[in-house]
Amino acid sequence: MRKNKLIVVLISILVFSCASIVSKTARQITINSSPDNAEFIIKDEKGIVVHRGKTPATVTLKTGEGYFKGKEYTVLIRKEGYEEQSVVIRKELNGWYLGNILFGGLIGLLVVDPLTGAMWTLTPQDINVNLNQRQARINNGSLTLSVIQLQDLPEELRHKMIRIR
């Protein structure tokens, strides 16, 4: 009886795959910006918009699509008055996928994990972006006027300021 249980356990280990058991086929990504309430758009590697929203947010993205094909994404973050920024979310080989060599066998290594996308993970999982405020510029020949906030002016230039009434 004990021998039969051991055989069932060994067969189960050989039939199932490591990454599919331990990991998921989708990953939660957290998107934060400073200042918050910035708009974000996520596009996949084909340029298709898969999600949009406002920061802060947590979204779920698929790790793979098709046999041995991992997903990658570009996150565009923007807010009025600030410079746009983009972050690339890259696919990486899931470390648990290599566990198939010891436990999952060929079925996990060549079939289950590559088909489900569990062989991939996404990085970074946490996106934290500091948006830079745009500077207004007026250029009239050789004169340039730049408008910036006082806290953005370097300390060594503050003594050159002239009060306008």
Q: Which residue has 């340029």 as its token pair?
A: 47
pLDDT string in tens for the chain (165-residue length): 566 665 555 455 444 444 444 456 677 899 999 999 999 999 998 899 999 999 999 999 987 786 657 788 999 999 988 889 999 998 876 655 555 555 555 555 444 555 565 667 788 989 999 998 876 556 666 666 667 777 777 777 788 888 887
**Alpha-helix residue ranges (DSSP H) falling in 55-151:** 105-107, 113-116
What are the respective helix, strand and coil percentages of the chain, to the nearest 5?
30, 40, 30
Whether the pTM exceeds 0.85: the reply is: no
Domains of the chain: 2-133 (2.60.40)
The answer to whether residues 24 and 118 touch, using CB atoms and an 8 Å cutoff, is yes
